[in-house]
Amino acid sequence: MTYSTCSIRIDEDEENVLFAVEKVGLELIPYDFSWGDRGFLEIGDRVFRAWTHKHDCNSFFIAKLERG
């Protein structure tokens, strides 16, 4: 499953992914994004962020998840 938002807020992005991992039982899949930036918190190296001011696009967030 791909979890994606057009938000740059940690509470709508990384914290929701952490909830899905810790409470729902989903697993975060490492994915080698070819551009953009990593995210924040302890899962930051496994999620993707794009920024309007850096990447010439609307800001957004992506995490890849699967059932555990």
**What pLDDT does 32 receive?**
87
What digits encode the pLDDT tens for the residues 1-44?
Answer: 999 999 999 999 999 999 999 999 999 998 888 899 999 999 99
| Domain chopping of the chain, boundaries | 2-67
Give pTM, 2 decimals: 0.92
Angle in degrees, CA 5, 51, 13, rounded to 5: 30
Please list the residues that pair with 60 across neighbouring strands. 50
**What pLDDT does 2 receive?**
96
**What pLDDT does 31 receive?**
85
Q: Please name the helix (run of DSSP H) or strand (run of DSSP E) that holds residue 61, with its range, or none.
A: strand 60-67
